[in-house]
Structure 1
Amino acid sequence: MRLEPYQIRILGGGQFACPEGERVLIAMEQFGASDIGVGCRGGGCGFCLVRVVEGEYRTGKMSTAKVSVADQAKGYALACRIYPMNDLVIEVL
């Protein structure tokens, strides 16, 4: 288990830490930041759509009506379903 949290940097915005196994959106809220829009937190509304510019991550289940498989291949994902595997740079849409 990793002891140091991953660093999440928002293009044109702030930066916050995300512990291993935590979702990016939840870590942002716990940090007190508000760079990413917050909606349902469940992967269905699409309000927290972002594009991961740099870094590796995995995603939990999210609505393909909000993020298609083709978009996922281009780095688009819902922040409420992104689990970083290293430091990330994210573009908020």
Structure 2
Amino acid sequence: MADVDAINVFNITVRGSDVVAPCPETERVLIALEQAAPFPKPKPVNVGCRKGGCGACRIRVLSGDYTTIKMSRAHVTEAEEADGYVLACRVFPASDMEIEPAFLTPHERMEMRKAERD
């Protein structure tokens, strides 16, 4: 029998909901969250393009370790990323995580950018 490396599975807890999604370290957090809330249950975070470009799945990581792949800076600035904001479709868990949805409407995003400039 071939020796197979074990894949770690971590729990993703969504603050303010009863969702706890098991997520393998090789899977994007968004996929695990979608599977944890099958239709017709509402998704714990918004789902959009699944490729890091739309910002619909923006979350804030409150605790836990993770790795990210390239995501649009239009939706998560470097400063925001340093504060734990990421796109769930671009995040892989490295430990158990607690997250909260952090979607911004285009108007909210525009107001935030304006405040940063002032």
Structure 2 length normalisation: TM-score? Answer: 0.74
Query: 1:1-58 CA distances to partner (integer Å, 9 max, x unpaired)?
Result: 4445100000001111001210000111223351010000000000000000000001
| Runs ≥4 residues deviating over 3 A | 1-4
Deviation digits for residues 53-83 of structure 1, max 9, x if unmatched? 0000011110011100000000000000110
Structure of larger gyration radius: 2
Higher-RCO chain (CA-CA 8 Å, sequence separation at least 6): 1
Provide structure 2 residue ranges, at least 5 long, that are not aligned to the other structure. 103-118
* Structure with greater proportional strand content: 1
SS at match of 2:92: strand
Structure 1: segments with no counterpart, 5+ residues? none
Taking only aligned residues, the RMSD between alpha carbons, in angstroms, comes to: 1.3
The residue aligned with 1:48 is: 57
Q: How many residues align?
A: 93
Q: Percent identity?
A: 47
CA 1:57 to 1:30, structure 2 compared with 1: closer, same or farther past 3 Å?
same
8 A contact 2:67–2:94 mirrored in 1: yes
Instruction: Using structure 1 for the length normalisation, give the TM-score.
Output: 0.93
| Whole-Å separation in 1 of the counterparts to 2:62 and 2:8 | 21
**Structure (1/2) with the larger helix percentage:** 2
